[in-house]
Amino acid sequence: MSEAGYEFTVVLPEVDESAFAADQADPVEYAKRLALAKAKSVARKHPDSFVIGADTIVDFRGRIIGKAADAIEAEQITRKLFSAPHKVITGVAIVRLSDDTELVQSDSTTVYPKRMTAEQIADHVKSGSWRDKAGAYAIQETGDEFVEKIEGSLTNVMGLPMELLESFLAGLKISIKRERKD
């Protein structure tokens, strides 16, 4: 958001993600539910502010892949995801409690991976770059070297689909961009 010129404050939500059962859940609805829960959590403390919440998950053949708990799970996830196309889904919610504003949508991008060798997978896991990342990788860090192509929004794969967010903000007629001083 900073690169796009937005002014904002980061406030960490108080949401126990483990309370949201991922098993048997629709990946799109799951991402949207978590994004809304995060936005509402922060909005309770800032009811007059527009609060943006987001949650990114990976959908591999209809199964939700979240963040790896440890290196063993990171290796398993990496082997799986870099064997076939998968979807990165981000739910985005904007909430302002003072006027009952509540918007929730999602964006989905298909990632076509390059096959990784056993050595590349081991190096990836050893690097620790998988920590706290849905699907155990971040395309903006090193993941792009293992991606053949994507269909959809690159910013969605990075964790916040800016096209969707800007559409939301334009619809609300919100301007939170910094003034340019040339």
Domain boundaries, the chain: 17-171
The token pair that represents 45 in the structure block: 């403390």
Q: Between 142 and 171, where is the model more confident?
A: 171
The whole-number pLDDT of residue 66 equals: 82
Q: Between 57 and 175, where is the model more confident?
A: 57
Q: One of 55, 59, 70, 107 is an active-site residue; which one?
A: 55
pTM recorded for the entire structure:
0.86
Average pLDDT, the chain: 88
Q: Inform me whether the pLDDT recorded for 140 exceeds 90.
A: no
pLDDT category, 8, cuts 50, 70, 90?
A: confident
**What pLDDT digit, counting tens, does each position of 27-75 carry?**
999 999 999 999 999 999 999 999 999 999 999 998 998 889 999 999 9
Q: Inform me whether the pLDDT recorded for 180 exceeds 80.
A: no
Pairwise CA distance, residues 65 & 145, whole Å: 21
For the chain, what's the residue count? 182
pLDDT category, 181, cuts 50, 70, 90?
A: very low
Where are any strands of DSSP class E within 7-143?
51-60, 63-65, 86-96, 101-113
The whole-number pLDDT of residue 54 equals: 95
Q: Inform me whether the pLDDT recorded for 149 exceeds 80.
A: yes
The whole-number pLDDT of residue 182 equals: 46
- Is position 144 annotated as part of the catalytic site? no
From the list 165, 156, 163, 157, the residue with the least C-alpha distance to 8 is: 165
Which residues have CB under 8 Å from 116's CB, separation 6+? 78, 82, 124, 146
Q: Inform me whether the pLDDT recorded for 128 exceeds 60.
A: yes
Q: What's the CATH code, domain 17-171?
A: 3.90.950.10
